[in-house]
Structure 1
């Protein structure tokens, strides 16, 4: 592995993330809608993958580089398109509205500190497996294809879970009802579980070189955020307040993260 080239890539990707976050912030401030950053989240990873792909030309294995770029871009573009369609015309997300109510100073420094700097830093750390995978000169075929298989399982959970939820919400007959069908009967968060598995698969692509093992921090951080911070924990607090006993019963019968058959006979 060319260590100098990898270090240059790490720096260039950091600049790319900063540019993505700065442009997103400028547009969001102009629109008065900070939740735009959610749409850009997945696309930012695709940008990092593209930057790493071009910088790693002549350094990493060609097939592995193309596979890493394709998997990251497909995941990021699909996620961005889904969130854009879901949020279009709905105004500011309640999470960001609540956050902005605590602003006691100038808006720009506040949103940098509370939204764009944290999300940019997380994006860069989570993307480390993608960056390292681009510079692996001799990937182990079993790890390469295992990574693709794990990614595919995660992508299926995330995409199918999102599609099932969107279809459920479009049906007027489901107004006021709780989604507990399909994958949502096996885990309360098929999309978050799938997201975690996707990044585990991308991590496997980097593991043909020992330095790739260090990039476990990427999927570990993504999973931590999804489970304990901005994903599952935050959503479940809101749903518990909103739906009370109905949601408590759903929690009792349905796994919180890892899929399993729903418990039967749970009140």
Structure 2
């Protein structure tokens, strides 16, 4: 319970501060780069409050930190110089007064979700167990590492594609994006299940709710499903790309009767 309280407090304070900054900037989408940073802060808050160290705790803290900092930096650089994301602008027009609504449905909700998703982190870093790293820890680390590399490569490929003027308005179907329409989200999915395996090695199998919630968010809520609702309108040729490309899990492209997407 102490670990849960620490995680909730860290997430709540950071999201409250982010909300106050968003009011000044009139940009609620700054919450996106803050999301991974919250998990890093939770991990370090739990690490510093822990009475004992240990190999597993050190490994998990490093895993969360590397993932969170990379994604935070990536999203911050992508956000730089850009206006408020269209998703939050649409919410701003529907929910008034948006200043108060955003505290609850954007920043408060993400603080709650971060507290739930971080349950495997809480279980490991808040435990007194100081057992040695075992084979399940290494398996979790391997899944995490593959996911982190997969996510990083996908993000890099998309960033380079978008930076090329000749590709403006076209559909990215190269590299990892040839096999999945959202390979970055698939990599994120692997990262969190890898973290869960480390928690399982510590006996905290009950924390499966954390990666399960993250999976639902990635596939059904704020990830794949949300983007798929409007991307076809913004990217000509996306329908043909979607017809031959797996939405989430990387698979060989299917044959399409339409023309090749750009």
Tell me the distance in 2 between the aligned counterparts of 1:266 and 1:35: 38
TM-score, L = length of structure 2: 0.94
1:1-267 equivalence runs, <5 A: 7-58=1-52, 62-105=54-97, 107-134=98-125, 135=127, 136-138=129-131, 141-210=134-203, 212-243=204-235, 246-267=237-258
Please give the secondary structure, in 1, of the residue aligned with 2:84. Answer: coil
Change (3 A) 1:266 1:75: farther
Please give the secondary structure, in 1, of the residue aligned with 2:201. Answer: coil
The CA deviation at 1:265 is 4.6
Please give the secondary structure, in 2, of the residue aligned with 1:115. Answer: helix
The answer to whether the 8 Å contact 1:146/1:204 transfers is yes
Please give the secondary structure, in 1, of the residue aligned with 2:246. Answer: coil
For residues 38-95 of structure 1, the C-alpha deviation after alignment (integer angstroms, 9 at most, x for no partner) is 011110000000011112231xx51111111111011111111101111111110000
Tell me the distance in 2 between the aligned counterparts of 1:25 and 1:235: 24
Q: Indicate the RMSD between aligned Cα atoms, in angstroms.
A: 1.4
The CA deviation at 1:157 is 1.3
**Structure 2 gap ranges (5+):** none
Q: How many pairs align?
A: 256
Tell me the distance in 1 between the aligned counterparts of 2:76 and 2:202: 37
The answer to whether the 8 Å contact 2:169/2:235 transfers is no
**Structure 1 gap ranges (5+):** 1-6
